[in-house]
A and B are shown apart, each in its own frame.
Chain A
Amino acid sequence: MNSSKTKTQWSGYWFTLPAALMLGALVVYPLLYGFYISLFDTNLLFRWNFVGLRYYLEVFTNAEFLGKILLTLKFTFFTVAGHFIVGMILALLLNQKFPGRVFFRAVLIVPWLFPEVVVGLLWKWMLNPMYGLFNQFLQDLGLIAGPVSWLGNQETAFISVVIAAIWKGFPLVMILLLAGLQAIPDELYEAGQIDGASRQQIFRFITLPSLRSVLMVTLILDTVWWFKHFTIIWILTQGGPVNATSVVSIDIFKTAFEYFRFGQAAALAVVVFFVCFLIGYVYRRKLGEDDD
């Protein structure tokens, strides 16, 4: 009499197997193969010298790479913080009923719809030291005396890259949080009001806790996505000037496709994976404590 159980087992497999097999071939196999590559000093053509775990050991003794990880963490921190501050404020405002709400919502989503390459180029043009809008604007406001080469300067390049990344990424956080806010039942707020809670208390004790699962998922995804971000930075600075914006994904890309040290690049990528995984794990621990 095990027939019905076996049947659903099999049905589950029939529906899930195509995706599982596809991902096995397109994700699992390449990942394992990437790990294999990381054990060699190779140009992927004729040179395949087995080096074992040497590249992994190098990562942890190589101050330069650790510095790049720190730089990437810094970039991710400011970008994600920017997304959440801007996204949360806008989501709270858009969660009210007022004329023009639909208009603002539509406009504020726009950066998310632009391809990353386009966002990169747009900011590169706006930050152009000679003809750029940004310098002109700051000069008109009297904030700077003369044109600044935002991307050509080690300190300002980092800030510029973060600003472009915030501009591109805040809409997604805003939408997700807004949807989270709208899912909070009205009764909770009514109850809070009857109990005489202030606006701050309502936010602190009703809104935030109800948003927690949305916040956590958004935070994890946003952090991981921007930690491994490539395109906008590549278009804006290619990691320069010197190494001011050389986040890990840029560094790995160059190691592989400019210096043709594929094995080393593959090893770095594996390390980045573990860092991302760790970020996700720490967040879950911190934020999801009494979830499961």
Chain B
Amino acid sequence: MIKRGNHPNYALTYSVLTLAALTVIVPVLWMVSTSLKTMVEMFTIPPVWIPKVITWEAFSRIWVDYPFGGYFWNSLVVVASATLISLAFSALAGYGVSRFQFRGKGVFLTFLLITQMFPSIMLLIPYYKVMRTLGLINTYTGLTLAYVSFTIPFCSWMMLGYFQGIPKELDAAASIDGCGKFRTFAQILLPLTLPGLAATAIYSFLVGWNEYMFAMILTTSENMKTVPVGIGQLIGQYRIAWNDIMAVSLVASVPLTILFLFLQKYLVSSLTAGAVKQ
């Protein structure tokens, strides 16, 4: 059998993969190296890989000289709320669409797909206006609602894919045992979709944690900014402190990496399930 073949061409495989891995690792190491440098050493020609003086000051400066503690808190609150809301709504919708026939189902599914097609900036302008009118600029609620609007559609697709993989006989059995529709969903089906929920949660977290444009426009006050906006504004400054920027960039990438390490199996299979079944 050739698939995952018994005789891969090791030399070729390893050289291509090593090259690819280097293009990923070298920039990341460069980030680490920069974040450990002093201001002086950061600006040397040619650049040094291993700084003579290794300092962790950049990592402490980001909490002391810049309000990154606050930015992280804002990001966490907004993204966690958006993720919880998306999970609840998309689990319900995924179950509903996978189990029942009803008028408008096709329209709903098509609509979910179409939301992936429009430029988010199309929503940004009306959001800016509406949120200003409602006083939601600079609030957690405002940003959370914005994030929910782009996560619910894709999350619903992911959950739908997941529910479709669970045999309908389970529902039938539960209903014979006298379970109501909602209890069947909450007590029988939902626990079985935990991997799907986990995947959907990371997806939603990833989207929110990375989002930059909406956060930049919908938050104007210093104490409401999110991590990406906080990082982004560091390059506006006269003398760019690349060591600080790289330090905070590394810290900002940690939550996603941890989440992914634990849950990657679920995420990958769910993303593909959606793609394959679509």
Contacts and interface: CB of A to CB of B under 8 A. Distances in A.
Contact of B108 (A20, A113, A124, A224): A20
B89 A33 contact: no
Contacts of A14: 96, 181-182
B269 interface: yes
Contacts of A59: none
A107 B27 CA distance: 12
A98 B8 contact: yes
A249 B2 contact: no
A86 B228 CA distance: 28
A128 B46 CA distance: 12
Interface stretch (B51-59, B61-69, B146-154, B191-199): B146-154
Name the prevailing secondary structure of the B interface residues: helix
Interface in A17-60: 18-20, 22-23, 26-27, 30-31, 33-34, 37, 44
Contacts of A124: 235
A71 interface: no
B185 A15 contact: yes
Contact of A19 (B6, B89, B114): B89
B5 A16 contact: no
Contacts of A86: 20
Nearest to A103: B21
Contacts of B146: 26
Interface of A: 8-16, 18-20, 22-23, 26-27, 30-31, 33-34, 37, 44, 86, 89-90, 93-98, 100, 104, 107-111, 113-118, 121-126, 128, 130-133, 136, 167, 175-176, 179-181, 183-184, 186, 189-190, 192-193, 199, 202, 213-214, 217-218, 221, 224-225, 228, 230-231, 234-235, 248-249, 252-253, 256-257, 262, 265-266, 269-270, 272-273, 276-277, 280
B231 A117 contact: yes
B42 A253 contact: no
A5 to B, nearest CB: 8
30 contacts: A12-B101, A15-B99, A20-B108, A22-B152, A27-B115, A31-B126, A34-B125, A97-B4, A108-B17, A110-B257, A117-B212, A117-B231, A121-B245, A131-B45, A132-B47, A179-B271, A179-B272, A189-B2, A192-B2, A202-B2, A213-B275, A214-B276, A217-B274, A217-B278, A231-B212, A272-B118, A272-B119, A272-B121, A276-B117, A277-B117
Contact of B45 (A125, A130, A270, A280): A130
A104 B23 CA distance: 12
- What's the dominant secondary structure at chain A's contact region? helix
Contacts of A217: 274-276, 278
Contacts of A94: 17
A226 to B, nearest CB: 11
Interface centre among A11, A189, A214, A231 (most CB of B within 10 A): A11
Nearest to B96: A15
Contacts of B21: 104, 107-108
Given A104-B17, A117-B212, A133-B47, A96 B4 contact: yes
Given A19-B92, A193-B1, A252-B119, A108 B272 contact: no
Contact of B13 (A93, A111, A175): A93
B41 to A, nearest CB: 10
A45 B108 CA distance: 35
A93 B3 contact: no
Interface in B1-35: 1-6, 8, 10, 13-14, 16-17, 20-21, 23-28, 30-31, 34
B123 interface: yes
Contacts of B156: 19
A269 B4 contact: no
B238 interface: no
Chain A CB within 10 A, most for which of B21, B121, B132, B228: B121
B125 A183 contact: no
A232 to B, nearest CB: 9
Contact of A23 (B26, B27, B92, B149): B149
Contacts of A235: 232, 235
A113 B103 contact: no
B125 A262 contact: yes
B266 interface: no
Nearest to B75: A115
Given A89-B16, A175-B268, A189-B3, A115 B209 contact: yes
